[in-house]
Amino acid sequence: MAEEILTPTIPIIGRVRITDIENKFRETFLLADRHVLELVLGGVISNKMPHLGKPVWIVLVAPSSGGKTAFLDMFSLLQKAPYELTYNIGDLTPQTFISGMVGKKDQSLLKRLHGKVIFCKDFTTIMQKNPDARRELLSQLREIYDGEFNKEFGTGASIHWKGNVGFISALTPIGLDLMQQHSTMGERFINYSIQQPPEDELAQMMKKKYRRTASQIENQDIALQEMVAEYVSRKVSEAEAMTEPYPIQDDALDEINEMAIFATRARSPVMLDFKTKEPIDVPIIEGFPRFAMQLQTITKTLMLMQEGSHDITDRHMEIIRKIGLDSIPRKRRLTMQTIASFNSVSTSAFSARIGLPTDTARSWLMELASLGLVVRIPRGGTGNEDAWKMSAYGAQRMKKYEGITPSSKNLLNEDEARELAVPPDQVEEQKEIQVLQIRNQAITAIQEELGEGTSWDEAEVVFLNREAEKNNAEHADMPPMSADEQFEAI
């Protein structure tokens, strides 16, 4: 007898807890991250909290096949009646949200999104679009985040929108790096990097999944989606019924503000010279209040989701600290992790440690020095070479948030730096950084080839066109390459 396929139903109100969702999720997927389920559930609920100052927009970051889609697919029922809390978008262009067509009825999607949370599974593809389209789209998203969007068209049509929209998307680390290159107008997204399970455990889970029939997998997926829909809709109802959110105590507010101050300083944009890639101006440090407000909203949501007592827990603050650290650009965080581990590190030793050219290593270090997180020691290395150490503030933050206390050792020798093994959890990340760096070097070479007046965006268009020409039709359906494959291909 064929196995029955379950159809979506409305579960009994009050039945589902986070632990139930986690247990159901583990039946099909390997869950190594302690906090991601709680955060992504809270990401939907948080946009319904009372007195919401700014919406919470979340980017889940993981490599290809890193489980990002699974965390978004479980919300599928929330787009349908009777819930209608979310809206799934497969692709985004500058024309997605607004329409300039003249007619009796405004066809703009944006008009139908107020109060909903947008789910975008593949934000990486969007970040790889034509630079002009990418810049226009990110500009639109900033306005939508801020709650007001206005645009005039040559057709005579005009769009004037005010509202509140949530946003949850998924990106690879390389896609995140591309997005952060456009952060000069201020970040709106908060980032969360999903901890990946060990490969041997993942292989065992895949073997279990292979033994299941398609109908069994579908039944499990539907059951998970029903549980998520019941839980989220119930918590949204609770949030909407609140006249005031649960208060955050002063000591927790101080922790949130300290984290926001550090993270926004560490992610602030730095203007670099066209050729040397060295800072050319004193950076303007990003203000921390918007990020602090986002962290406060998430904290209040986690308190609402807490079973029984609605007090702040250590678990909640762990999530807040992880969001803060994950919102710092990866190359800067990797640099600080390395420098903070020693009394001082020479430029060449740091270059050897990360496996990138000395000029690149120096550029990374100078970015952090311009932000007051790293201090340059002129001729502090071997011969006339500079060395670097954490500033007092930077060292204090790295000790508190990363648990790194500098040793008395000075890392000045390249050979010694190479002998230090890169931690296993940073190997894939380092390769992805190298892929992005090689890409940027290629675009820089095109700038020089086309002449001094060529902008970065113009050179990037040429680069993308050349890359597209290399990919013929027979490769069009190939799956995305891993960081290893990209690195070997380059």
Got the DSSP string for 415-442?
HHHHHSPPPHHHHHHHHHHHHHHHHHHH
Residue 490, pLDDT score: 40
**Position 268 pLDDT exceeds 90:** yes
**Position 113 pLDDT exceeds 60:** yes
State how far the alpha carbon of 47 is from the alpha carbons of 17, 50, 141, 165, 318, in Å. 20, 9, 16, 8, 21
Residue 176, pLDDT score: 79
Relative to beta strand 410-411, strand 344-346 is: parallel
Query: Residue 424: is the preceding peptide bond cis (ω within 30°)?
Result: no
| Rounded Cα distance, 189 and 196, in Å | 21
Amino acid at 108: S
Sign of CA dihedral 201, 206, 209, 214: positive
**Position 128 pLDDT exceeds 90:** no
Region of residue 361 (left: phi > 0; alpha: psi -120 to 50; beta: else): alpha
List, in order, residues 6 or more apart from 272 with CB less than 8 Å away.
278, 279, 280, 363, 367
State how far the alpha carbon of 23 is from the alpha carbons of 71, 201, 297, in Å. 14, 17, 26
Write the pLDDT tens digit of every residue in 411-453: 998 888 877 655 545 555 555 656 666 777 777 788 778 877 7
The predicted model scores a pTM of 0.80
Q: Say which residue, 52 or 216, is predicted with more confidence.
A: 216
Tell me the residue length of the chain.
Answer: 490
| Secondary structure tally for the chain: helices H, strands E | 19, 11
CB 125 within 8 A of CB 64: no
Residue 9, pLDDT score: 42
| Phi, psi dihedrals of residue 190, rounded to the nearest 5° | -110, 145
Could you tell me how far CA 66 lies from the centroid of its own chain?
Answer: 13
Residue 171, pLDDT score: 87
Residue 459, pLDDT score: 75
CB 288 within 8 A of CB 241: no
Three-class SS of 238-281: HHHHCCCCCCCCHHHHHHHHHHHHHHHHHHCCCCECCCCCCECC
Closest CA to 298 of 311, 314, 316: 316
Rg (CA), the chain: 24
The residue-averaged pLDDT of 188-214 equals 83
Write the pLDDT tens digit of every residue in 364-397: 999 999 999 999 999 898 888 999 999 999 999 9
Write the pLDDT tens digit of every residue in 38-50: 999 999 999 888 6
Tokens representing 446 are 């095109």
Q: 18-98+108-240 maps to which CATH number?
A: 3.40.50
> Could you tell me the pLDDT band of residue 272, with boundaries at 50, 70 and 90?
confident
Q: Say which residue, 157 or 286, is predicted with more confidence.
A: 286
> Could you tell me the pLDDT band of residue 457, with boundaries at 50, 70 and 90?
low
Most confident of 23-27, 119-123, 396-400: 396-400
| Rounded Cα distance, 348 and 355, in Å | 10
Other CB atoms within 10 Å distance of the CB of residue 467: 12
Where is average pLDDT lowest: 81-95, 133-147, 353-367, 428-442? 428-442
**Position 235 pLDDT exceeds 50:** yes
| Rounded Cα distance, 181 and 126, in Å | 14
The residue-averaged pLDDT of 298-327 equals 92
**Position 186 pLDDT exceeds 70:** no
Residue 338, pLDDT score: 93
Percent of the chain with pLDDT over 70: 83
CB 297 within 8 A of CB 52: yes
The residue-averaged pLDDT of 229-251 equals 90
Q: Could you give the residue range(s) of every CATH 3.40.50 domain in the chain?
A: 18-98+108-240
CB 409 within 8 A of CB 401: no
Query: What average pLDDT does the structure give for the chain?
Result: 82
